[in-house]
Each structure stands twice: as structure tokens, then as C-alpha cells.
Homo-oligomer: A and B are copies of this chain.
């Protein structure tokens, strides 16, 4: 990441998560010049005021962060981008729903936040804007057909086909909710059963591991990262948890590449740190499963867990450029 950029103008980027919300100041080249995180004020989303509390909270966080950093590193904030998990219509700036942050009604964020901050800005989907970052500045640079799949608590995909990022009014790319045989009939938070993200997200790997290890609710919690370390050391239950995740991912990837024909799949999010465990499983499954389909390269993301934040910055810069024209 280039932190030596001498740009005097930056945009504020916000990546809204279920527990923490990341804030950053982003240069036009995607460099993250400042970064922090704050607890997500979940009550803001559920107070039935049509989103006014959310806009107020976001406005305050952005203003305070931008003011403090402007003083510290001597820059000016000229726009903003906010990215949200869920069904987001970026054209209208409306979040249609976002179950992970307790949001079910449609909430308009774009225009009210522009008014509150007095800056041009855009609202986007965390994964699609992360895909934009990877495509324009990261691992997917130069490709025309590309999937970006961050493996976090949840899973979704940014889908680029024929050099365009698919939106479908916010409904495109919900790969985590494609049903795969490896997820059996386990219940998903979305209401369906057998969704990919139940077994292949970070929480899924933890759940698989605890089940294989015969863990009981009272046992010490263990993070996906630690399970990866144990798998590398050859522990059978840890290897088993990644075997399930990798197989489930290959099942979903085969579906996605039968429908989208990507040249590469860029895997991101926290679990991409375990690519050394997952990619060989996926590669082996591709050997067995693919017939007429184009075989995609498997790549890890350039921006890791910052992809959404960098993408939010790109979104902000787009708004600034659009306003200047």
C-alpha cells in the first residue's frame, strides 16, 4: 500500500460491518492514508426512524475522523463513500436490506449523507466495491471476466463480466446463498438451508471444526486463524474443517464459472489467509469436475480485509469526479 502519496485531497471511506465499522481516508490511487475502526452502532439501524439515526451517526463519525486526520496529516476531505453488506442499490443510494446489521426496511443513505456532510458521495455494496478495488488496482487488474469472493463471516461475490461489474439493482452475486451439497440441510440465517456460507465462511470453518472435534458449548472458543495453524500442523479435525470449506467453495465456484465464465477468481477476506489450505482442495475438485468450462486462475486478493474500504474510497472518488464534470 502506498502511504507516500503526496495527494492533498482525500475521500472518506466507510466500510460498515456487523461488529466494527472501518473508516479510512483514501487517495485517488487507492492508497489508505489513515484508518481507524469504531463499534457499529447497531441500534441506529433498528430504531424505526427510516434511517435518520444511522445518517446522523455516520455523519458524526465521518466528520470527527476526517477533522482529526486533516489536522494530523494536513489533508482535505473532498468526498465520501460508504459501503454496506446486504442488498444495496448504488444508483439510488438506498440500502434495501442488510440482515447482518439488523436492517430490514429500505433506508435511503446517499442523499441525506451528502446533505449532512456537504460533500459528494456514494453508497455501495461492500463486496462489489471490494471487487472494484481488486479489479482496478489489485489482483484482478487487466482482466475482463472476474469473480471477487471475500470469505468473511458471510460470503458474497463481486461479478465482473465483459468488463462490467454486475449490479442487478443490488441483487447480483449472492454466492454465499447458493445451495451446495457440502452444506447438507444446515439452516442459514437467510432462511434457506444448505447455503455455501454456512460451511465455507469463517464462522462455518469454526463450526465445522468444533463439530469434528466434538467440542461442547463450554469449550474455549477458537478462531478460524488458529484452526488454520492447527491444520498446517496436521491436526485431523482442523484439516477436516478446511476440507469441507474447500469442497463447498469448489461446488459453488463450479456453478459460478458455468454461469459467468471468469478468467480468475480472486479470494479475499479473513479466510484468504488460509489460501494455502483451501486452494489445493479447490484445484483438485476443479480437476475432477470441470469439463467444457473455462478453468479460472485462483488468486488471493491484494487488499485483504481492506478491499471494501479501498472500494469505498473509489466510490467516493467517482462521486467527486462526477460532480466536477
Contacts and interface: CB of A to CB of B under 8 A. Distances in A.
B261 A259 contact: no
Interface stretch (A24-32, A41-49, A108-116, A174-182): A174-182
A251 to B, nearest CB: 8
Contacts of A261: 168-172
A281 to B, nearest CB: 18
Interface stretch (A59-67, A156-164, A198-206, A212-220): A156-164
A258 interface: yes
A145 B174 contact: no
Contacts of A254: 179
Contacts of A172: 161, 259-261
Contact of A256 (B99, B162, B177, B259): B259
Given A168-B260, A175-B259, A192 B161 contact: no
Nearest to A261: B171
Contacts of A181: 181
A262 B168 contact: yes
Interface residues of A, number: 42
Contacts of A173: 259
Contacts of A162: 164, 166-168
Contacts of A171: 145, 257, 260-261, 293-294
Contact of A292 (B164, B167, B191, B255): B191
A291 interface: yes
A174 B291 contact: no
A190 interface: yes
A291 B191 CA distance: 6
A224 interface: no
A289 interface: yes
A292 B259 contact: no
A87 interface: yes
Nearest to A294: B171
A97 interface: yes
A261 to B, nearest CB: 3
A87 B258 CA distance: 11
A254 B174 CA distance: 11
- Highest count of chain B CB atoms <10 Å: which of A175, A257, A293: A293
Contacts of A291: 177, 190-192
Among A87, A162, A289, max chain B CB count under 10 A is at: A162
A259 B195 CA distance: 13
Nearest to A159: B259
Contacts of A144: 169
Give the most central of A87, A256, A258: most B CB within 10 Å. A258
Interface in A249-300: 251, 254-262, 289, 291-294
A249 to B, nearest CB: 15
The 6 A-B pairs at the shortest CB distance, nearest first, are namely A171-B261, A168-B261, A191-B291, A145-B168, A174-B258, A161-B166
